[in-house]
Amino acid sequence: MSPEPTGSTGSGPFASAAQVELTLSVADDLLVLARLTVSAVATRAGFDIEEIEDLRLAVDELCLQVLLGRRTGRLVLAMAAEPGCIDVWSRYEGTEEARPDGLDDEGDLSERILDALVDEHGPFVHDGRPGAFLTKRRALAGG
């Protein structure tokens, strides 16, 4: 599966490729739902338990990158999967400005963690709003 929003000007997957879309209030406690949902979608795509654990950590990082320290508003995640591959997109909906120190020195670490956990990741823009995506493929699926 090719990550549709790899470019910075695409409309993103929210209108077309996404099979599952989840909207959450910005609250730590609700991110468990994001991880559970991604885990369930990845299960249906045939990922093993180790890969799912990687995805759960990666989704945490994706959310951190999008929230950038914001405490209000909504977090939207979209997912699309096919056997051996899953794409996850995340974007922020709200009016709060990102905190300048939202990721601070952890920004590089976040990138490094995603480098280690997924096959592709990066920013995208949806309706003028920035978001972030990741793609993970099963190792056994030839990726």
Considering beta carbons, is residue 15 or 139 the nearer one to another protein?
A: 139
**DSSP class of 63:** H
Q: Which stretch binds another protein (CB under 8 A): 4-12, 33-41, 119-127, 129-137?
A: 33-41
Angle at 78 between CA 143 and CA 133, to 5 degrees: 50
Nearest to another protein of 70, 126 (CB atom): 70
Token couple for 41: 């979608």
Q: Which stretch binds another protein (CB under 8 A): 2-10, 65-73, 80-88, 124-132?
A: 65-73
How far is 27 from 121, CA to CA, in rounded Å? Answer: 23
84: left (phi over 0), alpha (psi -120 to 50) or beta: left
Residues at the contact surface with another protein, assessed by CB under 8 A: 28, 31-32, 34-36, 39-40, 43, 46-54, 56-57, 59-60, 63-64, 67, 69, 71, 101-106, 109-110, 112-113, 115-117, 140
